């Protein structure tokens, strides 16, 4: 059956027995039935779950126990709720990137220079070694194939969250078949193809920029101008396996949403910081500084 979350906009497809009124992404109790989407193409690829629900929960418990010392104390023992496996829609993008660049390439060299200084009231001449950089300009062309750029197509899982869960092992990619998602919650792409294409192109450009940076010779460089053209682009819908769950670390606060890569077990969540702990640490450091200061004072006549 087809459901829509009126809060975050996720379009879910679930089996009758998994009918839910609470959104698995945002926990909002505003899930309603919707007519099936007609114009959306089915996914091309899918990655299967490789991690069971108990082992995903185990990963999350370990992750919660090993957060920053300043994180909320309730996290260590937070009960996990609503652990759901979701096939999240993403776009898999690849393209050929051709760049023209111009850069300044810096080569370091050392020089011995003499200088004068005053020692015990006398002027003396000394030498020292200094590192200098000689700049030359370099321009050229660079072409490469950029494969496997993955961007979210879901309103329920942001692209930043997806990036935290990456990489997915795309060697396990299979052709999509409805049987694969039977018994799971699947989401249909709720972001437009255009939005996703723009995100994917930007990610591809950033990859190219990092590759060019690594490719430059010399001890240092400054990029002056880069002009990249993307061609032979491909963009396919791919379902990726994600466990989504809620950790109720404080009865007074909304639960922490945690997402787990259903393949590798990589965990991500925005851990709440305990400001009480931060304040106590600041006070403890201040007291320590004061004690050291007073001890030094006490040592003087």
**Binding of residue 25 to Zn ion (CB under 5 A):** yes
**Binding of residue 22 to Zn ion (CB under 5 A):** no
Which of 3, 13, 14, 26 forms a contact with Zn ion (CB under 5 A)?
A: 26
**Binding of residue 12 to Zn ion (CB under 5 A):** no
Q: Which is nearer to Zn ion, 86 or 239 (CB)?
A: 86
Q: Residue 156 Cβ, how far from Zn ion at the closest point, in Å? A: 6
Q: Identify which of 233, 231, 234, 215 has the alpha carbon closest to the alpha carbon of residue 223.
A: 215
Q: Which is nearer to Zn ion, 71 or 190 (CB)?
A: 190
Q: Which is nearer to Zn ion, 146 or 157 (CB)?
A: 157
**Binding of residue 5 to Zn ion (CB under 5 A):** yes
Q: Residue 10 Cβ, how far from Zn ion at the closest point, in Å? A: 5
Q: Residue 247 Cβ, how far from Zn ion at the closest point, in Å? A: 17
Binding-site size for Zn ion (CB under 5 A) equals: 8
**Binding of residue 246 to Zn ion (CB under 5 A):** no
Stretch that binds Zn ion, among 23-31, 51-59, 76-84, 129-137 (CB under 5 A): 23-31
Stretch that binds Zn ion, among 15-23, 36-44, 184-192, 262-270 (CB under 5 A): 15-23
Q: Residue 71 Cβ, how far from Zn ion at the closest point, in Å? A: 25
Q: Which is nearer to Zn ion, 74 or 189 (CB)?
A: 189
Q: Residue 266 Cβ, how far from Zn ion at the closest point, in Å? A: 22
Q: Residue 6 Cβ, how far from Zn ion at the closest point, in Å? A: 8
Give the DSSP letter string of the chain. Answer: -EEEETTT--EEE--GGG--SS-TTT--S-EEE-PPPSSPPPPSEE----S-HHHHHHHHHHHHHTS-TTB-GGGGGPPEEEEEEEEEEEEEEEEEEEEEEEEEEEEEEEEEEEEEEEETTEEEEEEEEEEEEEEEEEEEEEEEEEEEEEEE--SSS-HHHHHHHPPP-GGG-EE--HHHHTTSEEEE--S-HHHHHHHHHHHHHHHHHHHHHHH--SSEEEEEEEEEEEEEEEEEEEEEEEEEEEE---TTSPPEEEEEETTT--EEE-PPB-HHHHHHHHHHHHHHHHHHHHHHHHT--
**Binding of residue 184 to Zn ion (CB under 5 A):** no
Task: Label the pairing between strands 174-175 and 122-152.
Answer: unpaired
Residue 33 C-beta-side C-alpha neighbours within 13 Å: 6
**Binding of residue 240 to Zn ion (CB under 5 A):** no
**Binding of residue 196 to Zn ion (CB under 5 A):** no
**Binding of residue 23 to Zn ion (CB under 5 A):** yes
Distances (CA, A) of 146 to 15, 18, 79, 153, 259: 37, 39, 42, 20, 27
**Binding of residue 50 to Zn ion (CB under 5 A):** no
Stretch that binds Zn ion, among 10-18, 185-193, 272-280, 290-298 (CB under 5 A): 10-18
Residues that bind Zn ion (CB under 5 A): 5, 7-8, 10, 23, 25-26, 28
């Amino acid at each position: 059956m087809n459901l829509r979350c009126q809060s975050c906009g996720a379009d879910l497809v679930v089996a009758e027995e998994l009918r839910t009124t609470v959104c698995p992404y945002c926990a909002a109790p505003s899930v309603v039935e919707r007519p099936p989407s007609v114009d959306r193409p089915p996914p091309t690829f899918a990655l299967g779950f490789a991690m069971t629900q108990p082992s995903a929960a185990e990963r999350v418990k370990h992750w919660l126990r090993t957060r920053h010392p300043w994180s909320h104390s309730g996290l260590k023992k937070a009960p996990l709720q609503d652990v759901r496996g979701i096939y999240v829609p993403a776009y898999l993008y690849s393209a050929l990137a051709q760049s023209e660049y111009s850069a300044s390439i810096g080569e370091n060299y050392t020089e011995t220079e003499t200088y004068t200084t005053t020692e015990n009231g006398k002027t003396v001449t000394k030498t020292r070694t200094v590192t200098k950089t000689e700049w030359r300009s370099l321009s050229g062309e660079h072409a490469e194939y950029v494969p496997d750029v993955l961007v979210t197509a879901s309103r329920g899982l942001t692209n930043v969250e997806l990036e935290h869960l990456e990489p997915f092992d795309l060697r396990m990619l299979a052709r999509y078949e409805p049987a694969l998602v039977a018994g799971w919650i699947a989401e249909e792409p709720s972001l437009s193809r255009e939005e996703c294409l723009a995100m994917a192109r930007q990610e591809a450009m950033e990859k190219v920029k990092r590759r060019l940076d690594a490719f430059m010779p010399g001890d240092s460089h400054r990029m002056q101008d880069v002009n990249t053209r993307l061609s032979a682009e491909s963009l396919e819908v791919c379902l990726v396996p994600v466990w989504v769950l809620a950790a109720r670390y404080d009865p007074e606060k909304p639960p922490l949403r945690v997402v787990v890569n259903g393949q590798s077990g990589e965990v991500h969540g925005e851990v709440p910081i305990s400001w009480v702990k931060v304040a106590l640490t600041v006070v403890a450091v201040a007291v320590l500084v004061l004690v050291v200061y007073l001890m030094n004072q006490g040592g003087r006549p």
